[in-house]
Structure formats: structure tokens, C-alpha cells
Chains A and B, each alone.
Chain A
Amino acid sequence: MNQTDRPVANPLVVLREEFDDWAVLFNPDTADAVGINPLGVALWKTIDGTRTVAQLVSQVRAGFADVPASADAEIAAYLDDLIGKGFVGCEPAPAA
């Protein structure tokens, strides 16, 4: 995934939030479920196809304290994982 891609959540996927701010993403078409941490929940709520990966990372840095330098790669890997599972689609950046 490139920093200029615009990920978009699969509208079929269910976000089940729990009391500890963790959550489960559930794809009813495949019965796949994955647990996500509070940062993953915050990201999930903003991946609506209007923001690039770079903008999402900036948002995380603004909203969470002590975000490590490795966050860019970790967020990209998280989104790649969700794309692989069919939880997220990706709108590629328009050709230059």
C-alpha cells in the first residue's frame, strides 16, 4: 500500500466495540473475525476513502501520545492485512 492510496472500509464489515476499547471486526460474508486494539479502532472509523494513508498516519500522530517512529510501517501493514482479508478496499492514487 502506498502513502497516497485511499483505503475504504468494506461496508459489510461489522465493528463490535468492547468495554476495554478493543474491538472485533467481523466479515459476515466470510465469517472471518479479527481483534483490533484501540488504535486500530480509531483508524477503522476514519478509513472512508477520503483520506490517504499518509493523512491517516498524521491523524494518529495527532490523536495519540508517544506514537513511535515505526508507526507508519505498522499502520501500512495493518491496512495491508485488512485488505488481504477483504475487510478493506483501496482506491489507488490517481496517475500523475
Chain B
Amino acid sequence: MSVGVMRTPRKLDLELTSQCNLRCRYCYFFSNPAVQYRDLSTGEWLQFFAELGSLGVMDVTLSGGEALMRTDIRQLIQGVVDNRMRFALLSNGGLIDDATAAFLAGTKRCNHVQVSLDGSRPEAHDSARGRGSWEGAVRGIRTLQRHGVPVAVRLTIHHFNVDDLEAAARFILDDLGLSRFGTNSAGYFGNCQRHADEMMLTAAERQMAMDTLTRLNREYNGRINAAAGPLAEGRVWRKMEAARKGGASAFSNGGRLTGCGCTSNKIAVRSDGAIVPCNMLPHLVLGYINRDALAAIWQGDPVLAGLRGRRETPLSDFEFCAQCAYQPYCTGNCPGLAYTLTGQVNHPSPDACLRRFVADGGCVC
């Protein structure tokens, strides 16, 4: 067990179902040949929640598919509550009605419901998510707000909504009245791999998104968040470029594969019960719930240990990073994207590579 890792995971990401009422063109979840798209019974999940409670797990994030497709979703959420945990729910919003929102509010354990909303108008959102889905998302958000359920919005940027970002920010922050929202961009996972050419941002679109979001975030006093995607990349890449130009010494997390810290405090479960390091690494099956002890996997699984040890791997080991002036400042980024793009988990991700962005005509000046 490496230093700095908790005795048991603090959080889990649980894909409760492989069912969904939408088929979004960039969805990370579907079309993964390594995944068995089947669901567990109510009893199997409840048995696992009891194990989580005994391990002192604090938070779970419930997703799918669309978690609200499960007819037993209230029973499952009650199982989370009964085992002294809090929860967040990821949803497309379309199935949220008054009764659901009232139930969620009544649990008093809901950290937030994150609704995917990809634009200020139906065309921007529905282009990737299907006709009528924008109206469903907005109706869901307003229903949650009416019942006092904390709402988060995630906006995924792609080719068909990148010109709507300014209007989207105004709609979400001013019209809907959210305190903040998050952004990322369509990534090379699942369905998006089949639609990459039409959905993913070009370097020019990425540049536009980065510049627009940076300006809007300044205007809205930091009310736009991002852990990945153009806003986050802009923030990191500007620091890297300034460091390179000034000849600064290496960043404390630079020059090695430090880009992912997820495995230090959380783990994930697929809808078929497979325990995996992360939803973005669904092919790395570490065991199955109710068959394998989660604590034993967390503390002793060699694949998980390897992922944690990834951060000791120097970027200088990779031909991909050879002669790169940004190497002392780079973290190698997401191992999930590294895998889908290169076939290797222990490799820098080409997706958030600043050198490649600049070579493609991008600018972080």
C-alpha cells in the first residue's frame, strides 16, 4: 500500500444501469467492446451498499446510462441513505418529475443532481443528444430547483455547440439562475469514437472555446468550472507556456505521469457489477461486487497499485514526449484518454498535449 492512500475509498462512482432514454453521439458509456451492458438486481446493489457502509464510504455518484431509468431507483437511493452515505446523481434531466424531485429533496443526503445541458437553445443541445432532450433537461433543472434540490449543470462542448458558449453561459447563470456550471469537451470514448470526426473539437474550435470560456469566466467571477476540456486546458497551458518562455524550473507535478489522482480516493463500479479503477478505464476489471471484497481490492490489487505508481513514470521515457520543451511542466493528463488514443494506459494522453495543439495552429499567448 503506497503512502497517501486511504484505507478504503472515500467515494465511489456507480453506474447503476446500462439503460438510457437517450443515445448521445459523444456518450463515453456506450459502444465499449470491453463492457457487458447488463444490470444488477435491486438486492445485489443493496448488498453492496451495506459493504460500502461498513467500510465508511462517504459519497457515491449514481449514474448510468440514465440512473432514473431504474424503476427501483428510490429503493436504491434509500439503501445509500440507510448505509450512512451521501449521493450525487448524474442525469440527462428528462425523467425528473415533481415526485422524483420531492423524493430526492426528502432524503436530505443529495449533494446535487448534475444535469447535462449543452446549450442555450434546443438546436445546440439536441444535435448530439436527440430531439426534445433540451426541453427535458431544462424542465428537469427547473423541477429540481422548485423542490430545493441542489442542481449542477455540465456542458459538454463539441463541434455543434462551440459557437453557443456565450449564450449558454448567460442562459445557465442568468436565466436559470445557477450559481455556477461545469464544462468539458467531447472526448475519445465510447460512442464518440464512432463520431469523432463530426463531434470532437478541431484545434481552431478548441482555441475559440478556450478563449471564450476564459473571457466569460472572468466576466462571471469564476462561476464556470472545468477539470478537463478547453477551460481547464487554457488555464494549465498558459502557465506551461509562461514557464517555458521564462525558463522556469520544473513544476512539482511536472515531467511525470501525474495527471490523474482519482485512484487515491475513489473507485468505480460498472452496471454489471465489475469493479474498475475509473469509469474512463472500464476495461480494467479488478473484481466483481459481492464476490470480491472491495477493501482487499483497494489495498492489494496489483493493477490499481500500478495505476497509483504511474505518477513515478517520467515523461522522458516516451518517444511521444521526445524533445518537447513543455516536458518539465506537463503531467501526461488522463490515463483513460491515453488508453483509447494509444492503446496504453501508462502513456501520456495525446488529447491534451500542448505541443500538439501548438503544432496544429493553436496559441496560448
List the interface of chain A (C-beta within 8 A of B).
12-19, 24, 26, 28-29, 31, 33
| 19 residue pairs from A and B, CB less than 8 Å apart | A14-B58, A14-B84, A16-B6, A16-B7, A16-B8, A16-B58, A17-B7, A18-B6, A18-B7, A19-B1, A19-B7, A26-B56, A26-B58, A26-B84, A28-B84, A28-B86, A28-B109, A29-B109, A33-B58
Known: A28-B109, A29-B108, A29-B109. A15 touches B56 (CB 8 A): yes
Total contacts A to B, CB within 8 angstroms? 33
Does chain A have a CB within 8 A of B111? yes
Nearest A residue to B55, CB-CB: A16
List the interface of chain B (C-beta within 8 A of A).
1, 6-8, 10, 56, 58, 81, 84-86, 108-109, 111
State the Cβ distance, A10 to closest chain B Cβ, in Å: 10
Closest 10 CB pairs of A and B: A16-B56, A28-B84, A26-B58, A14-B84, A14-B56, A28-B86, A18-B7, A19-B7, A28-B109, A31-B86
Nearest A residue to B10, CB-CB: A16
State the Cβ distance, B334 to closest chain A Cβ, in Å: 27
B58 and A28 contacting across the interface, CB-CB below 8 Å? yes
State the Cβ distance, B56 to closest chain A Cβ, in Å: 4
With a cutoff of 8 Å between Cβ atoms, the chain B residues found around residue A17 in the complex are 7, 56
With a cutoff of 8 Å between Cβ atoms, the chain B residues found around residue A28 in the complex are 58, 81, 84-86, 109
With a cutoff of 8 Å between Cβ atoms, the chain A residues found around residue B81 in the complex are 28
With a cutoff of 8 Å between Cβ atoms, the chain A residues found around residue B56 in the complex are 14-17, 24, 26
- A78 to B275 CA separation, bound complex (whole angstroms): 39
- A56 to B289 CA separation, bound complex (whole angstroms): 40
With a cutoff of 8 Å between Cβ atoms, the chain A residues found around residue B85 in the complex are 28
Chain B CB within 10 Å, residue with most, of A12, A13, A24: A24
With a cutoff of 8 Å between Cβ atoms, the chain B residues found around residue A16 in the complex are 6-8, 10, 56, 58
Chain A CB within 10 Å, residue with most, of B86, B108, B111: B86
With a cutoff of 8 Å between Cβ atoms, the chain B residues found around residue A12 in the complex are 84
Chain B CB within 10 Å, residue with most, of A12, A15, A31, A33: A31
